[in-house]
Amino acid sequence: MRREILVASLLILALMAAPAGAFSADNLVIAVEEDGSAEITFNYTLSWIERIAVFFKIAEPEQELKAALEDALGVPVTVTSAEIDVAEFMVQDFARVNSTDGGNVYLTPGLDLTGAQAVLDRYWFAPLVEADFSPDLTVVRFPDGHEETFSGQSAIPALSHATA
């Protein structure tokens, strides 16, 4: 009994003394399709503790990002692919498409990624993680190839783009 308490105490001390890990949002690419749907690719870097949580299936980053996207966008999001450092999603009704005589006008919603922090805070290891939900680079790509880019922003404004 004493030995187990000693081992548990040492583990707790080791976790307290270990440097905090960091979740880092690297790149976010939103590819808007002609019908207004979007393919979203999110590249990120996990901390050592998050990698352990993923390994033991305690946390699933793609599901957490899916929940954050659904909350921010207000529409269903489907996970199409998930790896240790990248997740891909499909959003059917991402942009509103208005037809005009010369083409289409695409209206994308604003996207605030700070809601992902609330999802992270539900986990026991949240105090050990310093999260940065501001992608180094965010690209919104429209069907005609036009791109809007943002650097280091956790909130992306609503956009409007007309195609010819």
pLDDT digits (tens, 9 = 90+) for 9-23: 444 444 444 444 456
CA 140 to chain centre: 14
Cα dist from 69 to 4, 116, 126, 143, whole Å: 42, 8, 19, 21
What was the pLDDT predicted at 107? 97
Confidence (pLDDT) at 116: 72
Q: What is the pLDDT of residues 31-59, one digit of tens each?
A: 999 999 999 999 988 766 656 655 555 56
Instruction: Round to the nearest angstrom and report the end-to-end CA distance of the chain.
Output: 75
pTM of the model: 0.79
Domain ranges of the chain: 22-162
- Going by DSSP bridges, is the β-strand pair 129-132/21-32 parallel, antiparallel, or unpaired? parallel
88 has pLDDT over 90: yes
